[in-house]
Structure 1
Amino acid sequence: MKAIILAAGEGRRLKPLTDHIPKPLLKINGQCLIEYHINALVKAGINEIIINVSHLGQQIIDTLGDGHRYNAKLAYSIESEPLETAGGILKALPLLGSNPFIAISADIFTDYHFKNLVDLPIHLAHLVLTDNPPFHPNGDFALEKSIVKNDGKPLYNFAGISVLSPLLFKDCKSGKFSLAPLLRSAINNFAVSGEYFQGIWHNIGTMEIYQTVQQKFANNKV
């Protein structure tokens, strides 16, 4: 099984910090956000990892290299401009192959165990959901007996962790587009499973959140 780490975003809400450092390279307790994901994937037995890059992408490539020191094999999908989540994944599909793959947002900090997702039987997608953070109180999706719903109560937050089938993208054309409409369409066809995760999860989307997480985990690693 392969994985893709989505690392092409500009991190606009973290400016001016991200004018010079791509968000995936921001550090918590001395380790880059994206390195936490790489190490966790390798621990789960997933060694082939694709990383899509755009904004300051060469810094990410130069920092991580070929992945040898992580016991991983890293490949890069380079975007001249960010293609959003689904557009970036579609461009990277030739590197990901024809089997379902794990997709992770680079800008989250979590102790989720990716082993849970290895060889998970799915139709079109499987989503990890969490409690809604303060900046996103209304949530995204409902969960009913491991089936994700567009409507219902409570609505949970999509954690930026998923297993996706390449078939989810079969009718898509290259370009910039988001993942949410594809997921909602698949959900309407009862093709998306999910799970509720209650462990450590933070979206490093603002300077305030970044500083809070830095302080909270200054002497602890997930």
Structure 2
Amino acid sequence: MLPEPPLLEIAGKPLLSWHLEKLANAGVRRVMTSLPDPTGEISRLLGDGRRFGLRIEPLDAAGEPVTGPQAIVAALAQRRGEPVAAISADLWTHYDFARLPRRPRASAHLVLVDNTALHPHGDLALLADGQVREGHGMKLTFSGIGVYAPHLLEAHARPADSPSARHRTALTDVLALLGWAMARGEVHGEHYTGPWTHLTSPDRLWELDGVVEL
């Protein structure tokens, strides 16, 4: 049985290690993780982060671990007024994390990539002025890399007639908040055309291993 995607080895190194080293090289010093770790292997790999030149902390909400889109909302709440850069742990890319804005122009900055055969219709449209929108037109795929501004959480406190109110729960999922922000033109992005793959199957790993640029 293959290990979880963050522990899959590419060119002899776990995928998670590649991400953390790139983040440290980009000047990041604090990382919050929200990865399921039933065997404890991820915790053993990470330690306290010093081997990567980082301070690594588990992300939790009310004492409970959180994963997926909800983790971004929890991280924004925990950061108390600071933006959060979020990177999915199951992707491989040459994207330079140092390119990410320290603060988004508005509510969020999303990195979009070309559509794949497994996801031919994409997710979101990137307009000429850099806005990212839902709806019709040529769409690209969300890469799993983004930066989120603290005021994105303001949608959680809007009056009951706001679009976000239909989705509101305790620490609602960031997808609902992004939908609200996109409708107001508050999400921007970029089109990255370099190497990127989502490790959805063993075949994707075998294709990468041995051809990674070291």
Q: TM-score range, shorter-chain basis?
A: 0.7 to 0.9
Bigger shift: residues 156-165 or 84-93: 84-93
Specify the alignment match of 2:153 in structure 1: 169
Specify the alignment match of 1:66 in structure 2: 48
How many residue pairs align between the two structures?
A: 200
Specify the alignment match of 1:207 in structure 2: 202
Specify the alignment match of 1:191 in structure 2: 186
Deviation at 1:165, TM superposition (A): 1.6
Contact 2:34 2:66 in 1 (8 A): no
SS at the partner of 1:212? Answer: helix
Q: Are residue 44 (structure 1) and residue 26 (structure 2) matched?
A: yes
Q: Distance in 1 between matches of 2:199 and 2:125?
A: 23
Question: Which amino acid in 2 is paired with 1:140?
Answer: D
Deviation at 1:71, TM superposition (A): 0.8
Contact 1:108 1:203 in 2 (8 A): yes
Q: Distance in 2 between matches of 1:57 and 1:193?
A: 38
Q: Note the residue ranges of structure 1 that are not aligned, 5 or more in a row.
A: 1-15
Question: Which amino acid in 1 is paired with 2:207?
Answer: T
Question: Which amino acid in 2 is paired with 1:164?
Answer: Y
Q: Are residue 129 (structure 1) and residue 118 (structure 2) matched?
A: no
Specify the alignment match of 1:92 in structure 2: 75
SS at the partner of 1:216? Answer: coil
Bigger shift: residues 28-37 or 207-216: 207-216
Distance 1:190 1:143, change over 3 A: same
Counterparts of residues 145-184 of structure 1 (less than 5 Å)? 145-170=129-154, 171=156, 173-174=169-170, 178-184=173-179
Q: Note the residue ranges of structure 2 that are not aligned, 5 or more in a row.
A: 157-167
Contact 2:111 2:145 in 1 (8 A): yes
Deviation at 1:84, TM superposition (A): 4.5
SS at the partner of 1:140? Answer: coil
Question: Which amino acid in 2 is paired with 1:85?
Answer: G
Specify the alignment match of 1:34 in structure 2: 16
The two structures, once aligned, show a CA RMSD in angstroms of: 2.3
Distance 1:161 1:29, change over 3 A: same
Contact 1:99 1:165 in 2 (8 A): yes
Distance 1:31 1:78, change over 3 A: farther
Q: Distance in 2 between matches of 1:27 and 1:174?
A: 37
TM-score (normalised: structure 1): 0.81
Question: Which amino acid in 1 is paired with 2:138?
Answer: P
Q: Distance in 1 between matches of 2:197 and 2:66?
A: 23
Q: Distance in 1 between matches of 2:87 and 2:39?
A: 17
Question: Which amino acid in 2 is paired with 1:151?
Answer: G
Q: Distance in 2 between matches of 1:82 and 1:72?
A: 21
Q: Distance in 2 between matches of 1:120 and 1:94?
A: 16
SS at the partner of 2:24? Answer: helix
Deviation at 1:27, TM superposition (A): 0.9
Q: Distance in 1 between matches of 2:199 and 2:72?
A: 21
Q: Distance in 2 between matches of 1:167 and 1:104?
A: 19
Contact 1:51 1:77 in 2 (8 A): yes
SS at the partner of 1:129? Answer: strand
Deviation at 1:76, TM superposition (A): 0.9
SS at the partner of 2:34? Answer: strand
Contact 1:55 1:81 in 2 (8 A): no
Q: Distance in 2 between matches of 1:97 and 1:57?
A: 31
